[in-house]
């Protein structure tokens, strides 16, 4: 431990579309994230384009891939993604995120250009 305490248990990966780096709290994202149906189907998950990603302790909410709750003892990946013109927050177990990405390293939308 380096003596510092993070603001929360999430770690940001990648850069935002505006080039700024670092974690943005869910409260700040909440205004930008569109409400979505409780469950996305497989076709919708395939269309989702990841923009930013965080990892941390599970929130107790269901995984968007397998629908099993991501408990506090689990690692949860939160992915801010574009889906059909809306910004959505996706949650995954580590293994489910790996399966969703097809076993590839996570790519941020800016890396695809």
What are 14-55's pLDDT values in tens digits? Answer: 444 444 444 444 544 444 445 555 678 888 899 999 999 999
User: CB-hemisphere CA count at 13 Å for 4?
Assistant: 5
Q: What are phi and psi of 47, to 5 degrees?
A: -80, -20
Do residues 59 and 76 touch, judged by C-beta distance below 8 A? yes
The pLDDT, as a whole number, for residue 107 is 54
Torsion sign (Cα): 29, 33, 38, 39: negative
* pLDDT for position 42: 86
Distance between start and end Cα atoms, the chain: 37
């Amino acid at each position: 431990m380096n003596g510092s305490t993070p603001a929360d248990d999430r770690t940001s990966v990648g850069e935002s579309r505006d080039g700024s780096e670092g974690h943005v709290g869910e409260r700040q994202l909440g205004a930008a994230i569109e409400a979505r149906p409780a469950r996305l189907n497989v076709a919708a998950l395939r269309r989702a384009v990841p923009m930013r990603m965080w990892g941390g302790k599970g929130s107790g909410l269901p995984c968007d891939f397998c629908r099993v709750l991501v408990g506090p003892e689990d690692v949860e990946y939160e992915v801010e993604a574009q889906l059909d013109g809306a910004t959505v927050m996706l949650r995954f177990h580590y293994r489910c995120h790996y399966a969703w990405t097809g076993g590839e390293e996570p790519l941020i939308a800016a890396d695809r250009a």
